[in-house]
């Protein structure tokens, strides 16, 4: 495997940076990038990567999934992951290689890309933290079910095409507050319930090689691959703002269990720090009490 990456110029040109700056953090947008020819992101390189990543950093599923499906209902694949990737055009599957920064060359690649965005991100949502990369290798027509993610995310398309249908995070009929709250306490999977009447509220964006989509924190979405095999890279990070949103949701969960009906965290630029700090204080107090109980 290569120990470095080939690119020495910028991944995002000035037009892409401008588009990102206009959208971040709360709006989706399409971007362009210059990563499509990176040797670390070829099918052969990714098969090699799959062979060295820890087993818990690899997920692969059949590609013919419904848009809405509970995680326990997703069937398992019969093929090994390396074989699945090398034959992705015929295997009817999708694979995600998680936390690619565990391998040095991919860590350098991720930091190179995210470093280009710091001057936009940091002044608005705070320091970029928990840098993680995810690579998706998918058969033609494969579906990634309806879900949301807690990270800031840009999905860069490398080969083939994908259509991502996104929904507003503020539409509580689609992603109810109780689901957000349970998610942040580990009580709900990222997959969401999907109904056909949601379709009219979604925005479908199709991207091909050299194009990307900025996905706001917790924006519900589902993805379908086009008629050819697809490789895409998801670069993600957390921020002071996203952690405060998560902690405010968790605090709301505690209030809801007391029979109260708390209001949802407000969208950026509101910081939601009151509830976030209250939750952090409660968590520290609970940790101290458990520690004392364990030693008494």
pLDDT, tens digit (0-9, with 9 covering 90-100), for 28-65: 999 999 998 899 999 999 999 999 999 999 988 776 76
**53 within some domain:** yes
Confidence of residue 263 (pLDDT cuts 50, 70, 90): very high
Do 152 and 264 sit in the same domain of this protein?
no
Do 87 and 105 sit in the same domain of this protein?
yes
Give the residue numbers spanning the domain of 80. Answer: 14-238
**9 within some domain:** no
The pLDDT > 70 percentage for the chain reads 92
Count of structural domains within the chain: 2
**8 within some domain:** no
Confidence of residue 69 (pLDDT cuts 50, 70, 90): low
Do 78 and 147 sit in the same domain of this protein?
yes
CA–CA gap between residue 65 and residue 278 (Å, rounded): 40
**3 within some domain:** no
C-alpha distance from residue 122 to each of 14, 31, 126, 238, 263 (Å): 18, 19, 4, 11, 27
**127 within some domain:** yes
H/E stretch holding 253: helix 240-257
- Contact (CB, 8 A) for 130 and 151: yes
Is residue 273 helix, strand or coil? helix
Q: Tokens 């910081």 sit at which residue? A: 271
- Contact (CB, 8 A) for 221 and 36: no
Which one of 209, 238, 267 terminates a domain? 238
CA–CA gap between residue 225 and residue 227 (Å, rounded): 7
Do 127 and 262 sit in the same domain of this protein?
no
Do 184 and 289 sit in the same domain of this protein?
no
**5 within some domain:** no
What average pLDDT does the structure give for the chain?
Answer: 91
Do 80 and 157 sit in the same domain of this protein?
yes
CA–CA gap between residue 14 and residue 5 (Å, rounded): 22
Radius of gyration of the chain (CA): 20
**2 within some domain:** no
Do 273 and 182 sit in the same domain of this protein?
no
Do 118 and 263 sit in the same domain of this protein?
no
CATH of the domain at 130: 2.60.120.650
């Amino acid at each position: 495997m290569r120990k470095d990456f080939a690119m020495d110029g910028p991944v995002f040109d000035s037009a892409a940076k401008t588009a990102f700056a206009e959208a971040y953090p709360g709006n989706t947008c399409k971007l362009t990038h210059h990563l499509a020819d990176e040797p670390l992101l070829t099918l052969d390189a990714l098969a090699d990567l799959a062979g060295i990543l820890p087993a818990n950093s690899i997920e692969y599923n059949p590609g013919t999934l419904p848009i809405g499906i509970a995680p326990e209902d997703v069937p398992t694949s019969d093929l090994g992951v390396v074989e699945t990737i090398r034959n992705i055009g015929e295997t009817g599957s999708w694979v995600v290689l998680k936390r690619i920064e565990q391998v040095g060359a991919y860590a350098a690649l991720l930091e190179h890309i995210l470093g280009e965005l710091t001057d936009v991100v940091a002044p608005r949502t705070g320091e970029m933290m928990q840098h993680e990369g995810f690579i998706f290798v998918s058969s033609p027509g494969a579906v990634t079910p309806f879900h949301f993610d807690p990270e800031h995310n840009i999905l860069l398309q490398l080969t083939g095409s994908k259509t991502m249908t996104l929904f507003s995070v503020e539409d509580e009929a689609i992603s109810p507050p109780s689901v957000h709250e349970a998610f942040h306490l580990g009580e709900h999977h990222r997959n969401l319930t999907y109904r056909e009447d949601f379709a009219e509220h979604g925005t479908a964006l199709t991207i091909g090689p050299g194009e990307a989509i900025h996905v706001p924190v917790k924006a519900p979405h589902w993805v379908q691959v086009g008629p050819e095999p697809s490789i895409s890279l998801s670069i993600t990070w957390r921020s002071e703002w996203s952690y405060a949103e998560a902690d405010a949701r968790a605090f709301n969960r505690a209030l809801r269990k007391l029979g109260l009906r708390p209001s949802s965290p407000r969208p950026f630029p509101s910081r939601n720090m009151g509830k976030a700090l209250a939750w952090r204080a409660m968590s520290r107090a609970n940790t101290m009490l458990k520690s004392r109980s364990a030693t008494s």
